């Protein structure tokens, strides 16, 4: 008997269909973040200095210096990744010879990316870039008291919405459009309510009407570098805004207090919002954006997603940047960790655990969870990789 046949029997004994789990794990798209390949610098403004709480650490050789080099890195990574994928672009990754500022970006400035996505069979996601720009130097963007500054960023959001709609139309896949703002201050402000009231009103004015094929979501955060004392769009702000405006919520694994678990957030608002966009990362002591690995926190996220039937309402994406390792390897490691976590979640005997819980048998639930950890996951992962035509160990392809 092969290892996979034995694995199917073992999982079937606890009520899990391995074939269905592998098919579902391969079908769910994982969005690769373009900014890992060039350390969040982009190409629109040359080698601009990072700001807005963004910091990539390390000096490993191989950083992409232009869009062609970034696409080559992505192609190298995609060849080693099983399953469906998307590509998540920030506005500063426009591929154009024109001198253009953020509010003036148009779909044509991303035409090479659309061609790349089509050739690779990828969907495209998008983000306005509200950092590393002179108009964000004060630490405030859309919440700025100066209408001229706020209007600049409102125009950028309008341009970003048009680009996202174009991506959806041209790829035939949904475009997840995520709004994240670095607005905040290093010291406590005298008027903490003012920026939030302005942010709320200007978001209302900017996000008007549903765009075909576009999933819009707002991302909150606890603090940022240079905004340690005050953040305008906190997690409370973003959750309440999403729930009251009917847009999605972005849950970033690194954007909570160290004792909070992102997995626990996933079941808090599903009935109040149209869906969730996940930004998978690994925080070490703080929101440090380490390369994603199969940590307990990650496995807990997929346990909840799969056990509570939330996958259809969740967009899965990566969000980290590590300049201390090979850029393509960082994508491969993180994306495969996410796919492994997804398969583990799908192979967990949720029905058995729920039945024990419903019967009030907490002892059985505890024991069943421990037994589930020992089930032959490796054989199922090997089969998934074989069906996708990628190696279980990607190292030879990365050397």
Active site residue 180: yes
Closest residue by Cα to residue 39 from 53, 23, 26, 50: 50
Catalytic site residue from 252, 303, 322, 326: 252
The string of pLDDT tens digits covering residues 161-202 is: 999 999 999 999 999 999 999 999 999 999 999 999 999 999
Catalytic site residue from 166, 174, 216, 219: 219
Locate 265 and state its tokens: 């957030």
Active site residue 290: no
94 pLDDT above the threshold of 80:
yes
The string of pLDDT tens digits covering residues 232-250 is: 999 999 999 999 999 999 9
Catalytic site residue from 133, 144, 156, 221: 221
In this predicted structure, what is the pLDDT of residue 326? 97
Active site residue 279: yes
Active site residue 287: yes
User: Which of 140-144, 180-184, 222-226, 309-313 has the weakest average pLDDT?
Assistant: 222-226
In this predicted structure, what is the pLDDT of residue 1? 80
Which residues, including other chains, have CB under 8 Å from residue 375's CB and lie 6 or more apart? 7, 10, 11, 14, 347
Q: Whole-prediction pTM value?
A: 0.96
Active site residue 319: yes
Catalytic site residue from 38, 125, 287, 383: 287
Active site residue 219: yes
Active site residue 252: yes
The string of pLDDT tens digits covering residues 18-47 is: 999 999 999 999 999 999 999 999 999 876
Catalytic site residue from 35, 113, 180, 331: 180
SS3 string of 140-176? CCCCCCCHHHHHHHHHHHHHHHHHHHHHHHHHCCCEE
Catalytic site residue from 85, 144, 265, 279: 279
Domains of the chain in sequence order: 44-63+88-325 (3.20.20.150)
């Amino acid at each position: 008997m092969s290892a996979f046949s034995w694995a199917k029997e073992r999982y079937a004994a606890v009520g899990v269909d391995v074939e269905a789990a592998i098919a579902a794990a391969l079908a769910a798209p994982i969005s690769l973040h373009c900014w890992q390949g060039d350390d969040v610098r982009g190409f629109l403004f040359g080698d601009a200095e990072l700001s807005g709480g963004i910091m990539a650490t390390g000096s490993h050789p191989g950083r992409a210096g232009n869009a062609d080099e970034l696409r080559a890195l992505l192609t190298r990574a995609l060849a080693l990744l099983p399953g469906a994928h998307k590509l998540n672009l920030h506005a500063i990754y426009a591929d154009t010879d024109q001198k253009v500022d953020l509010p003036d970006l148009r779909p044509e400035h991303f035409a090479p990316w659309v061609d790349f996505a089509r050739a690779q069979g990828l969907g495209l996601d998008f983000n306005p870039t509200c950092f590393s720009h002179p108009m964000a130097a004060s630490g405030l963007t859309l919440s700025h008291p100066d209408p001229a500054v706020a209007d600049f960023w409102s125009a950028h959001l309008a341009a970003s919405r048009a680009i996202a709609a174009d991506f959806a139309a041209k790829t035939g896949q949904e475009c997840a459009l995520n709004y994240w703002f670095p607005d905040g201050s290093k010291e406590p402000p005298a008027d903490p309510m003012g920026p939030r009231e302005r942010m709320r009103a200007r978001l209302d004015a900017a996000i008007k009407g549903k765009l075909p094929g576009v999933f819009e979501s707002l991302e909150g955060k606890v603090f940022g570098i240079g905004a340690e004392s005050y953040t305008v769009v906190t997690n409370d702000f973003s959750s309440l805004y999403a729930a009251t405006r009917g847009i999605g919520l972005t849950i970033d694994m690194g954007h909570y207090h160290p004792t909070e678990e992102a997995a626990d957030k996933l079941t808090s608002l599903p009935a109040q919002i149209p869906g969730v966009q996940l930004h998978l990362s690994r925080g070490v002591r703080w929101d440090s954006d380490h390369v994603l690995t199969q940590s307990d926190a990650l496995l807990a996220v997929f346990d909840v997603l799969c056990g509570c039937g939330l996958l259809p309402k969740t967009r899965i994406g990566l969000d980290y940047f590590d300049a201390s390792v090979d850029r393509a390897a960082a994508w491969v490691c993180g994306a495969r960790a996410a796919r492994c976590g997804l398969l583990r979640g799908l192979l967990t005997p949720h029905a058995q655990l729920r039945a024990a819980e419903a019967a009030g048998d907490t002892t059985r639930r505890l024991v069943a969870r421990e037994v589930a950890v020992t089930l032959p996951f490796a054989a199922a992962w090997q089969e998934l990789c074989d069906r996708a035509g990628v190696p279980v160990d990607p190292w030879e392809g990365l050397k």
